[in-house]
Amino acid sequence: MRAARLITMVLLLQSRTSMTAAELARELEVSERTVTRDAQALAEAGVPVYADRGRAGGYRLLGGYRTRLTGLARGEAEALFLSGVPGALREMGLADAAFAARLKVSAALLPSLRDASRTAAQRFHLDAPAWFTDPETPPLLPEVAEAVWDDRRITARYRRGGQEVERELEPYGLVLKAGVWYLCARATRAGVFRVYRVDRCTAVDLHEERFERDEEFDLPAFWAEQAERFARSLLLAEVVVRLSGEGVRRLPYAVDPVSARAALAAADAPDGQGWVAVTLPVESEEVAHAQLTALGPEVEVLSPPGLRALFARDAQRIARLYAP
């Protein structure tokens, strides 16, 4: 355990100019006293770890010290090669850079681990787009990706509704969701973070000026919050339904799964026939009709009356179609 921690400490110091004891303790999940002891152990083992004293002090490696990746286990090496998404890298114009990086990492590995890229690629593949879709790569994605990598401000023309708007943005990150690329950026004037679909950009001008990133910004956390907020913003209506046991099982596959699970958790106990009454948030009665139809006879709509009448009409039409 300690050996792995010492290696991690060296790699952290190798990847950054300097780190304080508090920063190292947070990354390694140990106390600052343990960091001090580990730094001393590394120095005794010949690793040139140097401690700068004072308020702005910290630990750093002297003389451009580098360590090779010979300490990687097979599982770690294979996970490393899994971390890239070939299709996404190609769309962002980074396929050549990723290929060169993989070659360099492979050359640094022990001979027994150099097939890690092949074994990982033959066992796992990420296909990001949803089924029955043929997504197109946004033509301006490479320019947006370049701005994200270089922390460069951009001026973007963006289709919103039936008009085009122009925004000056600080592009923080890109997200690929179900085959669609989204840009998470801070609007320079408003100073707030927003999400933009890259395929709706009609022009992107990169500025020479770079912006200073907010180190507190967490892209995965920001995206998760925005995605949940967007999903909930669509659920503006409610329907009350009865579900059979099979309907309960299939409900999360027919409607928004988060809303389905929350509605089922708040439901009363099953009735004498084993059916459960559920109040379900939905986008609209029209959408609810399309989604709940997939449950067939495993669902009964109780309200609103208009939606119940719609299902009653469907049932009568189906009965006529299948009558002897």
Q: What is the pLDDT of residue 288?
A: 92
Q: How many CB atoms lie within 10 A of CB 236?
A: 10
Instruction: Answer yes or no: are the C-beta atoms of 261 and 278 closer than 8 Å.
Output: no
Buried/exposed 71-97: b ≥16 CB within 10 Å, e otherwise: ebeeeebbebbbebbebbbebbebeee
216 Cβ contact list (under 8 Å, min separation 6) = none
Instruction: Answer yes or no: are the C-beta atoms of 176 and 220 closer than 8 Å.
Output: no
Q: What is the dihedral of CA 128, 129, 132, 138, to 10 degrees?
A: -150
Mean pLDDT, the chain, rounded, equals 85
Q: What is the pLDDT of residue 114?
A: 66
Q: What is the pLDDT of residue 303?
A: 94
First-residue to last-residue Cα distance in the chain = 73
Report which of residues 23 and 125 the model is more confident about. Answer: 23
Summarised one tens digit per residue, pLDDT across range 236-278 is 889 999 999 999 999 999 998 888 988 999 998 999 999 999 9
> Whole-angstrom Cα distance, residue 284 to residue 237?
6
Beta-sheet pairing, 299-303 with 237-243: antiparallel
pLDDT at residue 99 greater than cutoff 70: no
Q: What is the pLDDT of residue 240?
A: 95
Summarised one tens digit per residue, pLDDT across range 200-221 is 999 999 999 899 999 899 999 9
The pLDDT confidence band at residue 84, using thresholds 50, 70 and 90, is low
Summarised one tens digit per residue, pLDDT across range 138-163 is 899 999 999 998 999 999 999 987 89
Instruction: Answer yes or no: are the C-beta atoms of 196 and 204 closer than 8 Å.
Output: no
Q: What is the pLDDT of residue 79?
A: 62
Measure Cα distances from 12 to 66, 110, 215 in Å. 11, 21, 17
Mean pLDDT of 290-299: 94
The pLDDT confidence band at residue 82, using thresholds 50, 70 and 90, is low
The pLDDT confidence band at residue 107, using thresholds 50, 70 and 90, is low
Q: What is the pLDDT of residue 161?
A: 79
Mean pLDDT highest for which of 72-86, 167-181, 237-251, 258-272?
237-251
The pLDDT confidence band at residue 300, using thresholds 50, 70 and 90, is very high
24 Cβ contact list (under 8 Å, min separation 6) = 9, 12, 32, 35, 59
Q: What is the pLDDT of residue 215?
A: 87
Structure tokens at 140: 């301006």
Q: What is the pLDDT of residue 208?
A: 92
Nearest to 7 by CA among 101, 98, 63, 76: 76
Instruction: Answer yes or no: are the C-beta atoms of 171 and 185 closer than 8 Å.
Output: yes
pLDDT at residue 316 greater than cutoff 80: yes
Beta-sheet pairing, 152-160 with 201-210: antiparallel
Q: What is the pLDDT of residue 127?
A: 72
Per-residue three-class SS string for the chain? CHHHHHHHHHHHHHHCCCECHHHHHHHHCCCHHHHHHHHHHHHHCCCCEEEECCCCCEEEECCCCCCCCCCCCHHHHHHHHHCCCHHHHHHCCCHHHHHHHHHHHHHHCCHHHCCHHHHHHCCCCCCCCCCCCCCCCCCCHHHHHHHHHHCEEEEEEEEECCEEEEEEEEEEEEEEECCEEEEEEEECCCCCEEEEEHHHEEEEEEEEEECCCCCCCCHHHHHHHHHHHHHHHHCCEEEEEEECHHHHHHHHHHCCHHHHHHHHHCCCCCCCCCCEEEEEEECCHHHHHHHHHHHHHHEEEEECHHHHHHHHHHHHHHHHHCCC
Report which of residues 18 and 254 the model is more confident about. Answer: 254
Q: What is the pLDDT of residue 307?
A: 94
